[in-house]
Amino acid sequence: MPIPRNIVVRTLSDQVFEIVRERIVTGSLPDDAPIRQDALATELGVSKIPLREALGRLEQEGLLVSQANRGYSVRPMSADQADEIYALRLSIEPAAAARASLHATERDRSEAVAAFHALDEAARSNLAEVAVRNRHFHVALVRPGGRLLTTQLVERLSILAERYVITHLEPAGRETRAHLEHRHLIDAWMARDQPVLETLLHQHIEATLYDLRAQFAAADS
Protein backbone atom coordinates (compact mmCIF):
# COMPACT_ATOMS: atom_id res chain seq x y z
CA MET A 1 0.00 0.00 0.00
CA PRO A 2 1.48 3.41 -0.93
CA ILE A 3 2.30 5.81 1.91
CA PRO A 4 -0.12 8.78 2.02
CA ARG A 5 1.45 12.10 1.10
CA ASN A 6 0.83 13.62 4.55
CA ILE A 7 2.75 10.88 6.40
CA VAL A 8 6.49 11.49 6.77
CA VAL A 9 8.67 8.58 7.80
CA ARG A 10 11.70 9.85 9.74
CA THR A 11 14.55 7.51 10.49
CA LEU A 12 16.81 7.83 13.53
CA SER A 13 19.45 9.32 11.24
CA ASP A 14 16.90 11.93 10.05
CA GLN A 15 16.14 12.91 13.64
CA VAL A 16 19.83 13.24 14.52
CA PHE A 17 20.36 15.26 11.33
CA GLU A 18 17.65 17.75 12.35
CA ILE A 19 18.97 18.11 15.91
CA VAL A 20 22.57 18.71 14.87
CA ARG A 21 21.51 20.96 11.99
CA GLU A 22 19.52 23.17 14.38
CA ARG A 23 22.52 23.45 16.68
CA ILE A 24 24.69 24.54 13.77
CA VAL A 25 22.16 27.11 12.52
CA THR A 26 21.61 28.61 15.99
CA GLY A 27 25.33 28.68 16.83
CA SER A 28 25.15 26.11 19.64
CA LEU A 29 27.96 24.24 17.88
CA PRO A 30 30.78 26.80 17.42
CA ASP A 31 32.69 27.22 14.17
CA ASP A 32 35.85 25.16 13.73
CA ALA A 33 35.43 23.30 17.05
CA PRO A 34 35.71 19.54 16.49
CA ILE A 35 32.51 17.56 16.94
CA ARG A 36 33.18 14.90 19.56
CA GLN A 37 31.19 12.00 18.19
CA ASP A 38 31.42 9.79 21.28
CA ALA A 39 30.06 12.52 23.55
CA LEU A 40 27.38 13.61 21.07
CA ALA A 41 26.19 10.05 20.48
CA THR A 42 25.93 9.50 24.24
CA GLU A 43 24.08 12.79 24.74
CA LEU A 44 21.56 11.95 22.00
CA GLY A 45 21.22 8.34 23.10
CA VAL A 46 22.11 6.88 19.71
CA SER A 47 24.83 4.67 18.29
CA LYS A 48 27.57 6.06 16.09
CA ILE A 49 26.01 4.65 12.91
CA PRO A 50 23.04 7.08 12.62
CA LEU A 51 25.25 9.89 13.93
CA ARG A 52 27.85 9.31 11.20
CA GLU A 53 25.11 9.16 8.58
CA ALA A 54 23.70 12.48 9.81
CA LEU A 55 27.14 14.12 9.91
CA GLY A 56 27.87 12.91 6.38
CA ARG A 57 24.63 14.47 5.15
CA LEU A 58 25.45 17.73 6.91
CA GLU A 59 28.83 17.77 5.17
CA GLN A 60 27.07 17.27 1.83
CA GLU A 61 24.79 20.19 2.69
CA GLY A 62 27.86 22.37 3.22
CA LEU A 63 27.36 22.89 6.96
CA LEU A 64 30.24 20.68 8.13
CA VAL A 65 33.77 20.01 6.93
CA SER A 66 35.86 16.90 7.62
CA GLN A 67 39.59 16.48 7.84
CA ALA A 68 41.73 13.42 8.28
CA ASN A 69 42.53 12.72 11.93
CA ARG A 70 40.30 15.60 13.05
CA GLY A 71 36.84 14.42 12.09
CA TYR A 72 34.01 16.88 11.56
CA SER A 73 33.75 20.54 12.45
CA VAL A 74 31.28 23.32 11.64
CA ARG A 75 32.10 25.21 8.46
CA PRO A 76 32.72 28.85 9.46
CA MET A 77 30.46 31.53 8.06
CA SER A 78 32.17 34.15 5.94
CA ALA A 79 31.46 37.22 3.87
CA ASP A 80 32.76 35.41 0.79
CA GLN A 81 30.36 32.50 1.26
CA ALA A 82 27.45 34.88 1.85
CA ASP A 83 28.33 36.71 -1.38
CA GLU A 84 28.38 33.46 -3.33
CA ILE A 85 25.14 32.09 -1.87
CA TYR A 86 23.16 35.27 -2.35
CA ALA A 87 24.61 35.99 -5.81
CA LEU A 88 23.41 32.55 -6.92
CA ARG A 89 20.01 33.14 -5.36
CA LEU A 90 19.72 36.45 -7.21
CA SER A 91 20.51 34.77 -10.52
CA ILE A 92 17.94 31.98 -10.09
CA GLU A 93 15.20 32.72 -7.60
CA PRO A 94 13.39 35.89 -8.77
CA ALA A 95 12.74 34.62 -12.31
CA ALA A 96 11.87 31.13 -11.03
CA ALA A 97 9.31 32.46 -8.55
CA ALA A 98 7.77 34.73 -11.21
CA ARG A 99 7.37 31.76 -13.56
CA ALA A 100 5.97 29.56 -10.79
CA SER A 101 3.31 32.12 -9.90
CA LEU A 102 1.71 31.58 -13.30
CA HIS A 103 1.74 27.78 -13.02
CA ALA A 104 0.56 27.51 -9.41
CA THR A 105 -2.57 25.45 -8.77
CA GLU A 106 -5.01 26.29 -6.00
CA ARG A 107 -3.26 23.73 -3.81
CA ASP A 108 0.11 25.35 -4.53
CA ARG A 109 -1.33 28.74 -3.65
CA SER A 110 -2.80 27.45 -0.38
CA GLU A 111 0.55 25.89 0.55
CA ALA A 112 2.43 29.12 -0.19
CA VAL A 113 0.06 31.16 1.99
CA ALA A 114 0.36 28.57 4.77
CA ALA A 115 4.17 28.77 4.51
CA PHE A 116 3.99 32.55 4.85
CA HIS A 117 1.84 32.36 7.98
CA ALA A 118 4.08 29.65 9.49
CA LEU A 119 7.11 31.87 8.92
CA ASP A 120 5.32 34.85 10.42
CA GLU A 121 4.35 32.85 13.51
CA ALA A 122 7.90 31.54 14.04
CA ALA A 123 9.32 35.05 13.83
CA ARG A 124 7.26 36.01 16.87
CA SER A 125 8.20 33.08 19.05
CA ASN A 126 11.03 30.85 17.86
CA LEU A 127 14.04 32.32 16.08
CA ALA A 128 15.59 28.85 15.70
CA GLU A 129 12.62 27.82 13.56
CA VAL A 130 12.67 30.98 11.44
CA ALA A 131 15.46 29.79 9.16
CA VAL A 132 13.67 26.53 8.35
CA ARG A 133 10.33 28.21 7.72
CA ASN A 134 12.02 30.93 5.68
CA ARG A 135 13.38 28.16 3.46
CA HIS A 136 9.95 26.54 3.18
CA PHE A 137 8.42 29.87 2.19
CA HIS A 138 10.95 30.66 -0.53
CA VAL A 139 10.83 27.13 -1.95
CA ALA A 140 7.01 27.27 -1.98
CA LEU A 141 7.24 30.29 -4.29
CA VAL A 142 9.41 28.36 -6.76
CA ARG A 143 8.20 24.74 -6.68
CA PRO A 144 5.01 25.21 -8.80
CA GLY A 145 7.16 26.08 -11.80
CA GLY A 146 7.58 22.35 -12.34
CA ARG A 147 11.33 22.61 -12.81
CA LEU A 148 12.83 20.08 -10.43
CA LEU A 149 16.47 21.09 -10.82
CA THR A 150 15.65 24.75 -10.24
CA THR A 151 13.64 23.90 -7.12
CA GLN A 152 16.46 21.71 -5.81
CA LEU A 153 19.01 24.48 -6.38
CA VAL A 154 16.85 27.05 -4.61
CA GLU A 155 16.32 24.68 -1.68
CA ARG A 156 20.03 23.86 -1.42
CA LEU A 157 20.95 27.54 -1.46
CA SER A 158 18.27 28.25 1.14
CA ILE A 159 19.75 25.57 3.41
CA LEU A 160 23.19 27.12 3.07
CA ALA A 161 21.66 30.54 3.79
CA GLU A 162 19.92 29.51 7.02
CA ARG A 163 22.71 30.57 9.38
CA TYR A 164 22.98 33.85 7.52
CA VAL A 165 19.23 34.41 7.88
CA ILE A 166 19.56 34.08 11.67
CA THR A 167 22.56 36.43 11.68
CA HIS A 168 20.73 38.94 9.51
CA LEU A 169 17.74 39.04 11.86
CA GLU A 170 19.80 39.74 15.00
CA PRO A 171 19.74 43.59 14.80
CA ALA A 172 16.58 45.21 16.16
CA GLY A 173 13.90 45.96 13.60
CA ARG A 174 15.00 43.40 11.04
CA GLU A 175 12.11 41.02 11.82
CA THR A 176 9.55 43.75 11.14
CA ARG A 177 11.17 44.63 7.83
CA ALA A 178 11.38 40.96 6.82
CA HIS A 179 7.70 40.46 7.63
CA LEU A 180 6.67 43.39 5.43
CA GLU A 181 8.87 42.22 2.56
CA HIS A 182 7.47 38.69 2.77
CA ARG A 183 3.94 40.08 2.90
CA HIS A 184 4.53 42.04 -0.31
CA LEU A 185 6.10 38.98 -1.94
CA ILE A 186 3.18 36.67 -1.22
CA ASP A 187 0.69 39.33 -2.32
CA ALA A 188 2.45 39.78 -5.68
CA TRP A 189 2.83 36.01 -6.09
CA MET A 190 -0.86 35.39 -5.41
CA ALA A 191 -1.76 38.16 -7.87
CA ARG A 192 0.48 36.45 -10.47
CA ASP A 193 2.12 39.83 -11.04
CA GLN A 194 5.40 38.63 -12.52
CA PRO A 195 7.22 41.95 -13.03
CA VAL A 196 6.45 43.22 -9.52
CA LEU A 197 7.24 39.88 -7.91
CA GLU A 198 10.56 39.55 -9.69
CA THR A 199 11.55 43.09 -8.69
CA LEU A 200 10.49 42.65 -5.07
CA LEU A 201 12.27 39.31 -4.66
CA HIS A 202 15.45 40.69 -6.21
CA GLN A 203 15.33 43.66 -3.83
CA HIS A 204 14.62 41.38 -0.85
CA ILE A 205 17.58 39.08 -1.49
CA GLU A 206 19.91 41.92 -2.44
CA ALA A 207 19.07 43.97 0.66
CA THR A 208 19.81 40.98 2.87
CA LEU A 209 23.19 40.54 1.19
CA TYR A 210 24.06 44.22 1.67
CA ASP A 211 23.14 44.01 5.35
CA LEU A 212 25.26 40.88 5.82
CA ARG A 213 28.24 42.53 4.15
CA ALA A 214 27.94 45.43 6.58
CA GLN A 215 27.65 43.06 9.56
CA PHE A 216 30.76 41.11 8.54
CA ALA A 217 32.68 44.34 7.94
CA ALA A 218 31.69 45.63 11.37
CA ALA A 219 32.71 42.35 13.01
CA ASP A 220 36.10 42.41 11.27
CA SER A 221 36.76 45.97 12.41
pLDDT surpassing 60 at residue 120: yes
pLDDT given at position 85: 96
Alpha carbon 16 to its chain centroid, in Å, reads 18
55, 72 Cβ separation under 8 angstroms: yes
- Helices (H) and strands (E) in the chain — how many of each? 9, 2
Span(s) in the chain for CATH 1.10.10.10: 12-74
pLDDT given at position 8: 39
- Convert the pLDDT of each residue in 197-216 to its tens digit: 999 999 999 999 999 999 99
CATH 1.10.10.10 fits 12-74, yes or no: yes
Q: How does DSSP assign 107-144, residue by residue?
A: HHHHHHHHHHHHHHHHHHH-HHHHHHHHHHHHHHHHGG
Second CATH level (architecture) for the domain 79-220? Up-down Bundle (1.20)
Span(s) in the chain for CATH 1.20.120.530: 79-220
pLDDT given at position 10: 62
- Convert the pLDDT of each residue in 128-169 to its tens digit: 688 889 999 999 999 998 999 999 999 999 989 998 998 898
pLDDT given at position 9: 41
